[in-house]
A = this chain, B = another copy of it.
Amino acid sequence: MTSYSSLPNKLASSPTGVDYAYRDVGESDLPLILLQHFRGNLDNWDPALVDDLATARRVIAFDNAGVGGSAGTTPHDIGQMAHDAIAFIAAMGFTRADLLGFSIGSFVTQEIALIRPDLVRRLVLASAAPKGADGIHGWAPEVIGAVGTPETSAEEYLGVFFTSSPSSRKAGQEALGRMYSRTEDRDTPTTWAVREAQYDAVCTWGIPDHAALQRLAAVRQPVFVANGDSDPMIPPRYTHLIAGLLPNATVKIYPDAAHGFLFQYHAEFAADVTRFLDRPESQASEGA
């Protein structure tokens, strides 16, 4: 099987007029669609994670509207981002999919499950927070100060996505090495306009609104929620909150890990996701 790091960039044309950039690997009837983090494009998925996931199923990473190599404009709200992602999934010809959303991608994933429930079989939410949760508004100053600046350094990235322990930091260096091993046909970098629009959307999502927490009661699908125990961007408190608000969630917190826990533990996380997605329907509500 071709590694994610050497997959071609493809384009899917949506009836909405947007050409979406994507990469596609592995085989299964039902695909797993990956929804990327703040400012991330196709090159910001750790190839090791995608390859681990793709041993068990078809995995598709894409740039949402306006991001990286996709055409269109990045909207200022999660609701429109969900509609844009739904348009990509429709452009690919899928009527049902599993979704894995990471960070802002987990916000979009929650919204898709609420807007278009019959499209979604199961959800994986990595470093997620529910809309309206108290305490997430705008992220901590040191976090947005590190990953929200015009030029972000590897050191700033590592400081948010990995902990300061030698083993986490080493895992971060290795993940960065894998992401940058692709030297040709890299994705188009995300622009400052994308950063601004996505941050508007993140801040709007984080406006404290206790009533909005109740929305998650409507998500009936099995959900796997996961995070690092030391994520400074979306602390694990919100992983627990989501797990408690959802009727049917399984939770895992990975030790000595931050926002990039899914890269740090790519093999273990991929195995956990695979086990969750492969669970028979009768056991799909196990856990929490």
Contacts and interface: CB of A to CB of B under 8 A. Distances in A.
Interface of A: 133-135, 210-211, 213-214, 217, 229, 235-245, 247, 249, 251, 253, 287-288
Contacts of A217: 134
Contact of A240 (B134, B210, B229, B244): B244
Contacts of A229: 287-288
What 7 A-B pairs have minimum CB-CB distances, sorted nearest first?
Answer: A241-B244, A240-B243, A240-B244, A240-B240, A237-B288, A210-B214, A236-B288
Contacts of A213: 210, 213
A226 to B, nearest CB: 13
Given A210-B213, A213-B213, 14 more contacts: A133-B244, A210-B210, A210-B214, A235-B288, A236-B288, A239-B244, A240-B240, A240-B243, A241-B241, A241-B244, A243-B244, A244-B244, A244-B245, A253-B288
A214 B210 CA distance: 7
A240 B251 contact: yes
B244 A238 contact: yes
A134 to B, nearest CB: 6
Contacts of A244: 133, 237-245
Contacts of A235: 288
A273 to B, nearest CB: 19
Contacts of A249: 237, 240
Contacts of A247: 135, 237
12 contacts: A135-B247, A210-B214, A229-B287, A229-B288, A237-B247, A237-B288, A238-B244, A239-B244, A240-B243, A241-B241, A241-B245, A244-B245
Contacts of A238: 244
Contacts of A287: 229
Contacts of A135: 247
Please indicate which of the listed interface residues A133, A217, A243 has the most CB atoms of chain B within 10 Å of its own CB.
Answer: A243
